Amino acid sequence: MRMSAKAQYACIAMLELAGNYQEPQLLQVKTIADAHGISPRFLVQILLQLKVHGLVRSLRGAAGGYQLACSPETISLADVINAIDDVAPSLPPALKALKPSAAVAALSSVFQEVDAKERQVLQEVTIADLARRTEASGLMYQI
């Protein structure tokens, strides 16, 4: 599976928002951008895309910012990635260019299995799970 930088940044932003989930104050784009070295303009585009997919909500103004639209326990990494990237399974370009054969079919079936397993893992891991993993590494994202 290939994941764009945009999808990776979306996962980071969602993790930051998960850490602020119980707080009444919204998280500002600048806070997330500065903490991770992401362009604020690019991050706004990402957050707007996540908002369109119902994963975050926002409020404009001086006290504005972003927050998760639902519990981090209910948002999978697949939800986030699918909101940003078109992740339709596809064969590697080199295989597509080859003439159909038994070898190409066999290798294609293995790549399809790998893709299915990746999707399963991403569907099973929630933003809350990811936050718990950061705690194990010494970073604190409390939910």
The per-residue pLDDT for range 110-128, each reduced to its tens digit, is 988 998 999 999 999 999 9
Cα(130)–Cα(29) distance, rounded to whole angstroms? 20
pLDDT confidence bin for 39, thresholds 50/70/90: very high
The residue extents of the domains of the chain are 5-86+127-136
CB 16 within 8 A of CB 128: no
Measured from the Cβ of residue 33, the count of other Cβ atoms closer than 10 Å reads: 19
CA 134 to each of CA 34, 54, 88, 122, 143: distance values in angstroms, whole numbers, following the listed order? 19, 25, 29, 17, 12
Cα(73)–Cα(95) distance, rounded to whole angstroms? 38
pLDDT confidence bin for 5, thresholds 50/70/90: very high
> pTM of the entire structure?
0.84
CB 77 within 8 A of CB 10: no
Residues across the chain = 143
What was the pLDDT predicted at 24? 83
Q: What are phi and psi of 61, to 5 degrees?
A: 110, -175
CA 63 to chain centre: 26
Nearest alpha carbon to residue 57 among 70, 43, 38: 70
Nearest alpha carbon to residue 11 among 70, 82, 73: 82
Residue range 20-30: mean pLDDT, rounded: 90
Q: State which fold the 5-86+127-136 domain adopts.
A: Arc Repressor Mutant, subunit A (1.10.10)
What was the pLDDT predicted at 88? 67
